[in-house]
């Protein structure tokens, strides 16, 4: 009798696991895009547990982000370091976001290191040309109770870059994702920038610490910007900083209201001043200034830009 009970228990566990798998795979045992995604992760990472982590993130992104946002204020110093090192973004000025979309040859960016991404985990990235691009729903904007102030539902503002992740996203989220051309991506980037959204290149630990998406983030919804305000260094500077030509500044305050990082203010003379520690060099204030009173310049005190063309030239010179 005990053997029958054990057999029933094992079969029940198998049945439950199969049901969960069918749920994850949208009514299939395994969707075609899942095999390449598993190969991409590799056996070592799968055995380490990254598969469960990646599935949770890939299949239920808004819920995953909601959980992180609820936990972030209570995770302590070590938890904050973990969050910074495992899920983080690099601000991209519009020019650098466009360069990723328009690359003309495969570019291996070996070990970006702390020069570009100031975190301890090394990254080996291969950007393929032309990049496979899928526009998909933003998890941050979706999970908020309040509507986003700078974009509208269904919040298709995240650009997933590169196979096999793009195929996985399309098959597992067909209602909220679609493949787009380079031309469409460039038009969308322009539109997002005009709305005051910040281009961010995001990296994730369970996706081999790879760059995988250009998110177009808003200050009212983005988990990374919210974490930054809480002192969690999840977003790092583009490598640039805004400067103001005081003779042109009229003190209208447009830039102050539009800055996603609260880095701008008006001084006693009614002129704009920049807090260089807070400024991430996103270029939003430059394009929104009605008096053309500012520009962004390289800040050598901050990490180097994620400039595909410059980094590929450096690597070519080394080889």
Q: According to the CATH classification, is domain 240-298 in 3.30.70.20?
A: yes
Cα distance between residue 274 and residue 265, in whole Å = 7
Cα distance between residue 35 and residue 271, in whole Å = 57
pTM score above 0.85 = yes
Return the closest-CA partner of residue 263 out of 245, 248, 247, 241: 241
Question: What is each CA distance from 214 to 46, 110, 128, 201, 286, in whole angstroms?
Answer: 25, 19, 15, 5, 21
Cα distance between residue 234 and residue 238, in whole Å = 13
Instruction: Indicate the angle between helix axes 94-101 and 182-194, nearest 10 degrees.
Output: 170
For 35, the token pair is 């095999």
Q: Residue length, the chain? A: 319
Q: CB burial class (10 A; 0-12, 13-18, 19+) of residue 252?
A: middle
Per-residue pLDDT of the chain (319 residues; tens, 9 = 90+): 577 777 767 777 766 766 665 666 666 666 888 888 888 888 787 777 787 788 788 888 888 888 888 887 788 888 888 888 888 899 999 999 999 999 888 888 877 777 888 887 777 788 888 899 999 999 999 988 889 999 999 999 999 999 999 999 999 899 999 999 999 999 999 999 999 999 999 998 888 888 899 999 999 999 899 888 888 888 999 999 999 998 899 889 899 999 999 999 998 888 899 999 999 999 999 999 999 999 999 999 999 999 988 877 766 666 5
Cα distance between residue 271 and residue 244, in whole Å = 9
Cα distance between residue 155 and residue 148, in whole Å = 9
For 40, the token pair is 């991409």
pLDDT at site 243: 93
Segments making up each domain of the chain, as ranges: 14-237+304-318, 240-298
Assign 43 to helix, strand or coil: helix
Neighbour tally for 106: CB within 10 Å: 11
């Amino acid at each position: 009798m005990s053997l029958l009970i054990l057999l029933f228990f094992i079969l029940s566990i198998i049945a439950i696991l199969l049901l969960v798998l069918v749920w994850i795979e949208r009514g299939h045992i395994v969707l075609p895009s899942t095999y390449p995604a598993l190969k991409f992760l590799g056996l070592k990472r799968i055995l380490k547990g990254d598969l469960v982590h990646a599935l949770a993130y890939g299949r239920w992104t808004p819920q995953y982000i909601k959980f992180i946002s609820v936990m972030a204020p209570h995770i302590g110093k070590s938890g904050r370091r973990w969050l910074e090192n495992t899920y983080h973004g690099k601000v991209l000025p519009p020019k650098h976001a466009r360069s990723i979309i328009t690359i003309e040859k495969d570019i291996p960016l070996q070990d970006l290191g702390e020069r570009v991404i100031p975190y301890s985990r090394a990254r080996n990235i291969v950007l393929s040309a032309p990049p496979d691009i899928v526009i998909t729903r933003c998890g941050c904007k979706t999970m908020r109770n309040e509507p986003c102030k700078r974009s509208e539902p269904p919040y298709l503002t995240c650009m997933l870059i590169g196979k096999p992740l793009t195929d996985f996203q399309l098959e597992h989220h067909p209602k909220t994702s679609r493949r787009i051309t380079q031309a469409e991506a460039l038009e969308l980037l322009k539109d997002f920038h005009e709305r005051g959204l910040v281009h961010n290149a995001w990296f994730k630990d369970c996706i081999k610490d790879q760059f995988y998406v250009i998110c177009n983030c808003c200050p009212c919804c983005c988990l990374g910007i919210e974490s930054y305000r809480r002192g969690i260094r999840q977003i790092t500077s583009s490598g640039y900083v805004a400067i103001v030509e005081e003779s042109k500044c009229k003190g209208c305050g447009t830039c102050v209201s539009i800055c996603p990082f609260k880095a701008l203010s008006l001084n006693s003379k009614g002129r704009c001043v920049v807090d260089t520690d807070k400024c991430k060099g996103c270029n939003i204030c430059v394009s929104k200034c009605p008096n053309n009173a500012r520009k962004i310049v390289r800040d050598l005190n901050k990490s180097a830009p994620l400039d595909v063309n410059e980094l590929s030239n450096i690597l070519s010179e080394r080889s």
